[in-house]
Amino acid sequence: MTNNIICRQIWQWVIVVTLLSVLSFPAQSTIPDNLDYQGYLTDSGGSPINNTVSVTFSLYNVELSGIALWSDTQSVTVSEGLFTVKLGGAGSPSRYAGSEAVIAIMAADGAGSTLDADLLDGNDSSTFASTVHTHTGSLYSKVAVVAQSGGDYTSPLDAMKNLATWCGIPAVTNPCLLRILPGIYNLGNNVLTMQAFDIEGSGENATTITSTHSSGSFNANSATVVGANNAEIHFITVNNQGGGFYAIAVYNNSVSPKITNVTASASASGGTYSLGCV
């Protein structure tokens, strides 16, 4: 029995196909000549097939109808409904890899009924990321990731400057998260002023924010981090190495942020008052 893979509807056999290789290859010197493909084949009653069948695989230029850009007919051994094939025996399908190529992997009975397997869980292949890709912006909304490499920002100060981009206006009704991955982040002679959202490090021994921000005044001008109402900071070490009269790690004036699992220290040399958290 020959199973033609042409149309978009199945009558007697049902095939559920899992796309193992999306038709968008990362840039490389040599484009692969073959594609691995796996599927699941059942009869009309839903029982898995145990047989060898002839199946035709095709690539089309559009999702419905269109022109067959490439075809390959193979004798496929099906065990407990599962089969795996390597496409490319009738010429490389990779030459058609591009936005205009749509894979149509279908099986049919002798009457010519078939199934379009272009979609995976109802999603077109373009929905899924290539195995080699980069991300633009955070993976999650209302979250910014600070990391020494690979994050949205490399400094907590930059994340705060671009707050409107990833958070909007911080509020109890608009919760946001600034996630700081492992590393020592030196703010220099600058202060990190908290807003109404969470600042989360990767552990007191993993993430450190430090500065030399100090002065002769007992206020925010002498602090590394300044607190805010409806804010929280946790799992992080905050340090001030400034040499001014006052050097403060975390400064709170008439505000009540939630501070948990935070090591606050001031290790200034030459200053008079080195304070961890006030």
CATH of domain 2-123: 2.60.40
Among 88-97, 168-177, 188-197, 200-209, which stretch is predicted with the lowest mean pLDDT?
88-97
Tell me the percentage of the chain whose pLDDT exceeds 90.
Answer: 45
Helices and strands: H and E segment counts in the chain:
2, 18
Counting Cα atoms < 13 Å in the Cβ hemisphere of 206 gives 13
Contacts of 268 (CB under 8 A, 6+ apart): 214, 240, 241, 242, 243, 244, 247, 274
- Residue 75 is predicted with a pLDDT of 86
- Residue 93 is predicted with a pLDDT of 55
Between 92 and 7, the higher pLDDT residue: 92
- Residue 39 is predicted with a pLDDT of 81
Q: Are 30 and 24 in contact (CB under 8 A)?
A: no
What tokens does 264 get? 């606050």
Q: Maximum distance among all alpha carbons in the chain?
A: 92
Identical fold between 2-123 and 143-277: no
Counting Cα atoms < 13 Å in the Cβ hemisphere of 79 gives 3
pLDDT band, very low/low/confident/very high, at 25 (cuts 50, 70, 90): very low
Does residue 207 sit in helix, strand or coil? strand
- Residue 33 is predicted with a pLDDT of 67
Q: What is the rounded CA–CA span in Å between residue 252 and residue 227?
A: 5
Q: Residue 218's CB: how many other CB atoms inside 10 A?
A: 16
Identify which of 3-7, 40-44, 96-100, 115-119 has the greatest average pLDDT.
40-44
The CATH architecture one would assign to domain 143-277 is 3 Solenoid (2.160)
Between 29 and 209, the higher pLDDT residue: 209
* Type and span of the H or E element at 191: none
The 10s digit of each residue's pLDDT in 118-168 is: 445 455 556 666 655 555 555 688 999 999 999 999 999 999 999 999 999
In the predicted model, is pLDDT for residue 232 greater than 80? yes
pLDDT band, very low/low/confident/very high, at 111 (cuts 50, 70, 90): very low
Q: What is the rounded CA–CA span in Å between residue 189 and residue 223?
A: 10
Domain residue spans in the chain? 2-123, 143-277
Q: Measuring CA to CA, how many Å separate 208 from each of 49, 66, 116, 222, 249?
A: 59, 58, 54, 18, 11
Among 35-44, 72-81, 114-123, which stretch is predicted with the lowest mean pLDDT?
114-123
* Phi, psi (rounded to 5 degrees) for 82: -95, 140
- Residue 11 is predicted with a pLDDT of 32
From 64, 100, 105, select the one nearest 87 (Cα to Cα). Answer: 105
